[in-house]
Structures are given as structure tokens and as C-alpha cells.
Amino acid sequence: MSEDKPALICEREGPVAIIVNNDAPINRMTLAFIDELEQLLPELAEDDSVRAIIIRGAGEENFSVGMNLKQLGQGIEEKGGIDALLDQRLRVLAMIEHLEKPVIAVLCGYCLGGGLELPLACHFRLAAEDGAQIGLPELDIGTVPAWGGTARLTRCVGRDQALDIILRAKKISGPRALEIGLVHEIWPNDQLQQKALELAQELAAMPPWSVAGVMRCVVGAEHASMDKALATEREAVHKVSSGKHQLEGMMAFLEKRKPDFSGPPD
């Protein structure tokens, strides 16, 4: 990548932030991209004007082929060892997963290795109807997924499908990914980016405190006891109770109109 070319671009469409991995056409996840993403995510988390986030690759050909393997040695040296390098990636993906704002990954073309592990940490995944190649093919190069891919893929599609994809280094299509529950929707390639934006705008129009409460309740719920999950839900209920957005939602229902959840919630 050229030194004067930014590794990451963050664009805005109203309340939607669009994060672009700026390494077209194959959109490798470079050291600079991960560093900049780690810095950007807390800023988006704190920015109340951002209510939904899209992550995509530059151009319309590929989401990402994963890590730039030519930078592996450099990354190990800069971060102080392989564990530190991998820990950063796990940390960044955990930040995405635990954001209290919905994050949408837009999958087209190559979505391989880290190019699937990052989307697995997102809350919604939309894929192209044609041409997507989605997988964790690390066994083809004698290694294993290292950014949480084994755990997140298993929790997403189940043990049998995860083993089939990983052990056979499969690259599956958008329709197949939809069939096994790996993605939420597929769209014709020329509609994919717009559909992702429409979904983000739909989510951004929801009351932000309620969205944040649901995110806290649902993300990680499968690892919590029922008592803990119910306590988290009750906390979310108390947080939104009597707030301006709850009042607006109820009044809109009674008045048979669309609610307006703009502005601060209290």
C-alpha cells in the first residue's frame, strides 16, 4: 500500500458510519488497518451521533483476503511477539462484538481468513448473491484460524458445519452461507451496498438506549446463566424507563404514527 494512501477510511451517511478497508482490490487487513481500526472504534462508541456502523472493503470486488502475510514478520517484531500480534486482533474483534451499536459487514468476493473472522464479530452480515467466496482456509497454508474464527464460526453455524468449512478449507457462496445461517441476507451484487446502508439506516432509526440495552442483553447471552441474562435484561428495562424515547414510542403507537427517536434519549 502506498504510504500516502490511508489504510482505513471512515465515511458518514447521517447517523451511519461506514468503515472502509482501503486496500482495493483484495483489501488485505494490513497492520495499519488494524491499528487504525483499534483507534477508531472507541471514538465511534462514544459518538452519540453514530447509531449504526457498516464495515466493507474498498471497491465492490472483495471484502478482504485477510491478513497481509507479507507483514507477519514485521507485525511480530513491532508488537513484541506473535501472541501480542494476535491479542491485538482478538481485542479489536471483541470491541466490535461488544459495541452497543449494531455493526454490519458487507461480504462480496473474497471473505477469507481474517476476512471472515472480522465479520463473525459483527452483528449483521449481508452477502453478495454471486461470486462470494467465504471461508477459513488456513489449513491450506498449514496453520489454523487465529482471530477467534473457530469459536465464533462454531457458535454461528454449529459444530458440524464449522468442521466441514474449516477442515476442508471450503470457500462457500453467499446462498450457501445464508442456508447455514452464516449470513443474514443475500442480495444481487449491484444492490448489496445500498441494502447494507438501508439496513443500517433502519437500525439507526431505533431508540439508541433501547438498542444499547438489547445489545448488552443478547451479545454473550449464550454464555450467561439464565439468572444473569434476566438481570441484564431488567437493568436495560430500568435504563430506558420513563426516558424521552420510551414516551415518544408509546405516544406514536397510540397516535398511530411513526415514532421519532432523534435527539438525546433523556
With 0-12 / 13-18 / 19 or more C-beta atoms within 10 angstroms meaning exposed / middle / buried, residue 200 is buried
Catalytic residues: 117, 138
Selection from 201, 37, 59 nearest residue 128 by Cα: 59
Helix (H, G, I), strand (E, B) or coil at 16: strand
Low-confidence ranges of the chain (pLDDT < 70): 1-3, 242-257, 260-261, 263-266
Looking at residue 216, its pLDDT comes to: 93
* pLDDT tens-digit series, residues 222-261: 888 888 888 888 888 777 776 565 555 555 656 666 776 6
Alpha helices in the chain (DSSP H): 31-46, 72-79, 82-97, 114-121, 149-157, 159-167, 174-179, 192-204, 208-218, 226-240, 244-254
Cis status, amide bond into 25, omega within 30 of 0: yes
State the residue for C-alpha cell 462457500: 172
> N- to C-terminal Cα distance for the chain?
45
